[in-house]
Chain A
Amino acid sequence: MRRWSRRAYLAAVYLFLYLPLAVLVIYSFNDSRYAAGWKGFTLQWYARLLTNEQLLQSLVNSLVVALLSSIVATAIGTLAAVAFHRYRFPGRRVFYGMLYAVMMSPDIVMGISLLMFFILVGLEIGLLTLLLSHITFCLPFVVVTVYARISGFDPHVLEAAKDLGASEFQTFRHVLLPMLLPAVASGWLLSFTLSLDDVIVSFFVTGPTFEILPLKIYSMVRLGVKPEINALSSLLFGFTLVSVILSQLLVREKRA
């Protein structure tokens, strides 16, 4: 009886999490313009998606922005975390605390303040401003993730490297970075996903010349959810699922 109720509870949790996604995937194969019951299986929405150049272009734009901003944020964030750990400088605690302020401040505030800043310094709204904004809001997540891992290290390990003749750079390259790699990777993944699905900040800091997927979808659904969007969303979900499984497999491989 206990076992049964435990399984039922687990099933309820999974249902709650994944039922909406299942509905989305099922409707992407539904042979009907409207979400009004099952009308038979079709692949036409996927086919039509491939011919929708505007939508595909915005997908490519989104991936480019996500990739670039997550890489830059990861590089800067990792170095920042190392600096927070390695050096004692005035204002260190304040700086670190401010990272949380950036993480927790509402997107709408970030969006407006970034836009005002870009206008002030005279930057034209487009790819560059979008990139800068995404790097800004991804950065604290990388710093916090990597810093948490460094703090858990035995500090003598880095001293041992120097004691054995490694210069500051060699210590970073051969000891610190390899030991940080799992945290750096998860910081990067977090940045990539944050960047890929951001709507609110992006809404303020990009213009009609450079359209990204979340904004494109947002503007399309104002005229009703089209089945192509179901198809696209299903593809994105599938992509995410595969990358999560892959990363899990890689981590397990390392442990063995």
Chain B
Amino acid sequence: MGKLWFGILLGGILGILDGLTAWFTPAVRSQIAGIVVGSMIKGAIAGAVAGWFAKKVNSVPLGILVGLVVGMLLAYGVAALQHGYYFEIMLPGSLVGAIAGYATQKHRPSRAIS
């Protein structure tokens, strides 16, 4: 699997897990399905950018930084739409991006044998 697809898959999975943590917040528990889907899309986009960056630049610190910044920007957009929960949305979003950034840098794509 290439770095881009790996980033999308990993970002999506991490996004789902991150979204599921909303269950611990009773006030938003009823909207958990929407939160999980939104969080998955956000994670997948952050993972895609991190994966694309990992294809271009081979640097773990820069990969983490790019993932962190993209995750933070996407989470800021979501929080702005919600008109609140900035801390609760942006911080995990940034860290999910950072993890995707690290993982895509470390991922070694398997090569097809012809």
Chain B associates with chain A: no
